[in-house]
Structure 1
């Protein structure tokens, strides 16, 4: 059995934690269940203690979003772990430089849009250079794990050969029993971290354009993040504040109750490695409208079968309107979505991930 150290910029309890963090923790929990020892190093925050064990996984929280990389580097340097999992959400931890252990890189998608949208042309350009030019050199002998073939192809453009990239898709938690039924009036839902690149303004704009035809139309946005007040202000500016409900954070049961009430799930994100919530919605029989250019959603959404992929904003709104208008189409996508979601479970993902780390470890020891 292996001792595994995970370095990550967030965990699921972090105020800005999301699908990437859930992926890492589900894999970690699965590895522990198979007898491995797993520790996750991530930044300190107010939602959790500095040190705890959850489902057998040890969490050690040090530093903040600016210093977590320094603390993680020190942790790697003094660690006796057999395997280091370097979770790269834009900025790598450079763990390869501080250990002789097996290093596996986990990367959901590339972050070019996020670098420029958050930090502007100059500083964002530096960040993108680190991710796209420096990191591939530092990790040139390491195995990469990603969640979609799309990201695997993107990595190839940076010089990371496809042979070094394994695709291990997200699993799904078991579908819980819910009491809610489909809402009688059209209800849209968007479940997401509230961040600029998620472009939830597009969901609000869609409501503004469609409300005349659908007076009872509502949008419920579920999630937390720094963009909450921006979205609230945007809904007011578009005159649809009374049509948009911003829930903030809700627990898993409430999230699934909301999904069960919804007609259509909206995912207007500029970039997604896969989109766990797309599959969660599908498991509830709710089709998704997303942008084809977002990448990984082209694999989680089966275009025309479990949802619709749009090429631009006009196409996005047209897709929403089509699904609202065509009950028969929604019914077909309900059935197809549930069948598609049934193909994904965390056990398969953990099996594949465990095989990778044990294989890489054995290769290093030769």
Structure 2
């Protein structure tokens, strides 16, 4: 019996040097579908050191093209596919799957990129990109269903002309971290876990340290993550006179990352925009409150303001909120305890079940028979 097939077209996978939380979400949904009996394929960009094709956790990966070349390769894959559903993962720029797909298309949007286009591509290309995302894509997908990870992004999509009734919300899940042996640091410690790219604004976290250093002589910042902004951040810390207080770890494995989170006092999320903010939940699971910007999209949902963290309106407010949490041990403890309980409400299994239900509904499919996955390999690259 033919198993139903789902093709996901995405800019990157989690192995990509710039892969992050949105890629983790896509892969978790894909892996769950594979376990449930679907044939699942992910078409994404190539990168140095990656194979052109592989099987991983029951999902078939095909990697073709670079940052921009991935789009024509994805269109070719969609056109040739016998998929029952195509998931067009719109990270700002859609893959225009509806133009060539011979099946229903589900559009996955983590967040709207209004603020990021110009900072990433400059004035001219940025305006073109935002025009495609805000004007062309909603018209192209006007008959398609959407899925996003937060009510905030759902509301933003509605402002772009997407009918609210066509948008489902399936939140990010969370891997409950194992108890850590590392104790909370005796020194006030801030932490950022993020890709090192401009729109994450990790400079703001460094600036917070510089602003608070005169009143907090033992304050330090730990930054976990990799990306092209590493040298910029190192130089910025030096210019602000806090290079000795800022540790840029680079990439860390999951255990090491959770050790850093567990010993920190406050987690900072100064990003311009997030669809949800998985790391806010990871910090909460360790009893670490977060501080983020109110305008940054889904963080206003992953952080329960006043209970698991605080939200700020501008940089001065951001700095003040960080100091408020640092200075008030009772507040920090109460937020940490509330965060642990809040994090328990989210799991990848629950999110995956919601996602599969949506897949069946959009593609008019019956639930397939769950499978026991066996290791597979791609002996020949797939074109």
TM bucket, shorter chain:
over 0.9
Q: Return the alpha-carbon distance in structure 2 between the equivalents of residues 224 and 114 of structure 1.
A: 19
Q: Return the alpha-carbon distance in structure 2 between the equivalents of residues 167 and 56 of structure 1.
A: 25
* Equivalent pair of 1:13/1:47 in contact (CA under 8 Å): no
* Equivalent pair of 1:10/1:21 in contact (CA under 8 Å): yes
State the secondary structure of the residue aligned to 1:69: helix
Greater share of helix: 1
State the secondary structure of the residue aligned to 2:43: strand
Alignment of 1:1-366 (within 5 A): 1-362=3-364
Deviation readout 1:210-263 (Å, 9 max, x if unpaired): 111111111011111111111111101000000000111111111100000100
Q: TM-score, normalised by structure 2?
A: 0.93
Deviation of the 1:306 alpha carbon? 0.1
The one of the two structures with greater contact order (alpha-carbon pairs below 8 A, sep at least 6) is 2
* Equivalent pair of 2:176/2:285 in contact (CA under 8 Å): no
Deviation readout 1:134-171 (Å, 9 max, x if unpaired): 01111111111000000000001110011010000000
- Segments of structure 2 that go 5 or more residues without pairing to the other structure are 366-383
* Equivalent pair of 2:176/2:344 in contact (CA under 8 Å): no
Q: Return the alpha-carbon distance in structure 1 between the equivalents of residues 353 and 4 of structure 2.
A: 14
* Equivalent pair of 1:31/1:38 in contact (CA under 8 Å): yes
Deviation of the 1:47 alpha carbon? 4.1
Q: Return the alpha-carbon distance in structure 2 between the equivalents of residues 331 and 37 of structure 1.
A: 46
- Segments of structure 1 that go 5 or more residues without pairing to the other structure are none
State the secondary structure of the residue aligned to 2:77: helix
User: What's the C-alpha RMSD, in Å, of the aligned pairs?
Assistant: 1.0
State the secondary structure of the residue aligned to 2:364: helix
* Equivalent pair of 1:76/1:99 in contact (CA under 8 Å): yes
Deviation of the 1:123 alpha carbon? 1.1
Deviation readout 1:300-341 (Å, 9 max, x if unpaired): 000110000001111100111011111111110111000000
Deviation of the 1:59 alpha carbon? 0.8
Count of matched residue pairs:
363
Q: Return the alpha-carbon distance in structure 2 between the equivalents of residues 155 and 279 of structure 1.
A: 24
